[in-house]
Amino acid sequence: MKFQSPTKKHIQLLKDILSPERVSSGQSNLDLHSIDQSHHPPSRPDAVLWPINAQEVSDILAFANQENISVTAWGSGSSLEGNPIPVFKGLVLDFTYMNRILQIREKDFQADVEPGVIYQRLNTRLKHTGLFFAPDPGAHATIGGIIANNAGGIRSVRYGSARQNVLQIKVVLANGEQITAGSRSLKTSSGYDLLDLFVGSEGTLGLITEATVRLRGLPERSVAAIVSFPSVKMAAKAVFDIIRSGLEPAALEMIDTNCIRLINREDSIGINESPSLFIEFYGVAKAQLEQEMDMVREISRHAGANGFVSGIGDRDRNALLKARYELGEKIRRSHPGRTHIVLDVAVPISSFPETVSFAKQESSVTDIPFYIFGHAGSGNLHLVLMGKTDDPTEWAAIDRINESIVEMAIRQGGTATGEHGVGIGKKKFMFTEHGTGLKWMHNIKKLLDPQGILNPGKIFPLSK
């Protein structure tokens, strides 16, 4: 793939399309847009642009397409697989200024937003309505980045990932054409599902300039519990038993002993230091919630639980959730001189216990510090490995561990990535996962972006 580097003349023309102060080739701006939150090496773009409306995005793409300059979209750069790193340099389109909440339609449980809206800000705005946007990746992510990565988070076991929470998007294609995909209806049988095609496409097929997202009712009541087990395998088996029983938790998270030690040390929460599940239910009636918790207690007892703390109040629950959200950061802080890799696979729920045991066994072979956690109720496992930053032997071992776990997940009928996306890190597994289906993904890419200018170097194994 050969792209043109933008010349001084190109930059001047781009300044004419936007305005001079929204086009930068300054070193600090290039650095800020060279790396996300992953371990992948940085790559500086040639220039960063900040559009303020769809027409500007369209004009930039038409221009870049004509001049064969690559364009990578940027939300807030919180990805964990190198998704927004401009590996072929070119232009980065930062959506920070397209951050308006355009309309909240309470009666339809919908909101129209620009892609640069940080989802926590939308939820703060929605508080008085009793509604909220459910995908919850924890980091300060934008709605555009959440949709483009099909991100999920803690409550995806109940509300799904981005895909289940977006109804309609406006998209600018590589040639500058503007289209709308989806509708504001909850149901549709109308033709091919272009909306789903763009969700999770990581800015490789088109750039989102507006989204109508689905909102959910804030729960009237909730109950939460922490259940401890002698081993991660037993905890994972209990996850399977809970889901199989037909219970529908709002959150079902697994955290291993290493994570709990860290949380206890930094937040003084005082959880039993053994592999644990955090379980939460939402509902209307107190009696129903109590019944659900009783069932969880019974199932956990059968699964060998050695600790059960239920009826956690709002304060403790929020403290625990906060600690869970900050886990990635805590892990990083506690290992100076080391870099993290966050593995993300998802498997059918019956394979979850086996996958968790395998991940633990593979990681235990070396002395590299590791942490296991995940959105267990969705069969989604995360493993953080902390490798010495400049130690190629450790990184070769990490690569091996990563590969063996991802390949095992695919063999189980699962996927190389449950929610972080393919980015750079998961490209090499795409053929194993999709087989000849990958060729058809590539055909779609060629149809929508014939010159391959949109976020090149991502998703497809041969793209670099």
Ligand X SMILES: Cc1cc2nc3c(=O)[nH]c(=O)nc-3n(C[C@H](O)[C@H](O)[C@H](O)COP(=O)(O)OP(=O)(O)OC[C@H]3O[C@@H](n4cnc5c(N)ncnc54)[C@H](O)[C@@H]3O)c2cc1C
Contacts with ligand X by CB under 6 A lie at 36-37, 72-80, 83-84, 95, 115, 137-139, 141-142, 144-146, 148-149, 151-153, 202-203, 207-208, 328-329, 419-420, 455
Nearer to ligand X by Cβ, of 6 and 145: the residue is 145
Specify the residue, 170 or 293, whose C-beta has the smaller distance to ligand X.
Answer: 170
Strand ranges across the sheet with 23-24:
23-24, 47-49, 91-94, 71-74
**Separation of alpha carbons 218 and 210, rounded Å:** 24
CA-CA distance, 242 to 249, in Å (whole number)? 9
What is the rounded distance in angstroms from the CA atom of residue 355 to the CA atom of residue 344?
A: 12
Closest contact distance (angstroms) between CB of 94 and ligand X is 8
Find the helix or strand (DSSP H, E) in which 307 lies: strand 307-309
Residues 6+ apart with CB under 8 A from 84: 33, 36, 72, 73, 74, 75, 77, 92, 145, 203, 455
Least separation in angstroms between CB 116 and ligand X: 7
Looking at beta carbons only, is 95 or 229 nearer to ligand X? 95
Smaller CB distance to ligand X: residue 151 or 232?
151
| Amino acid in position 165 | N
- Tell me the two tokens of residue 207: 């750039």
Region of 103 please: left (phi>0), alpha (psi -120 to 50) or beta: beta
Beta bridge partners of 221: 283
CA proximity to 173, closest of 463, 446, 459: 446
C-beta of 250: minimal distance to ligand X in Å? 15
Work out how close the CB of 337 gets to ligand X at its nearest, in angstroms, rounded to a whole number.
20
Based on DSSP, count helices (H) and strands (E) in the chain, helices before strands: 16, 18
Q: Which is nearer to ligand X, 174 or 401 (CB)?
A: 174
Neighbours of 204 (CB within 10 A): 28
Nearest alpha carbon to residue 433 among 342, 372, 347, 352 = 347
Compute the distance between CA of residue 353 and CA of residue 238 in angstroms, rounded to an integer.
9
Least distance to ligand X from the beta carbon of 34, Å?
12
Q: Which is nearer to ligand X, 328 or 353 (CB)?
A: 328
Pairing type for strands 71-74 and 91-94 reads: parallel
The closest alpha carbon to 422, from 58, 85, 32, 47, belongs to 85
Q: Minimum distance from CB of 32 to ligand X (Å)? A: 11
For ligand X, the closer of residues 198 and 281 by Cβ is: 198
Element (H, E) at 282: strand 276-283
Shortest distance (Å) from residue 189 CB to ligand X: 26
Q: How many other CB atoms are there within 10 angstroms of residue 99's CB atom?
A: 17
Least CB distance to ligand X at residue 254 (A):
13
Query: Is 37 or 276 the residue whose CB approaches ligand X more closely?
Result: 37
Return the number of the residue (149 or 300) whose C-beta is nearest ligand X.
149
> Which residues share a beta bridge with 341?
385
Q: Which is nearer to ligand X, 111 or 148 (CB)?
A: 148
| Residue whose token pair is 């209307």 | 284
Supply the minimum distance, in Å, between the C-beta of residue 287 and ligand X: 32
Please identify the residue of the shown chain whose CB is closest to the bound ligand X.
145
Structure tokens at 402: 């990563």
Closer CB to ligand X, 59 or 202, in the complex: 202
CB of 265 to ligand X, least distance (A): 18
Closest distance of CB 339 from ligand X, Å: 14
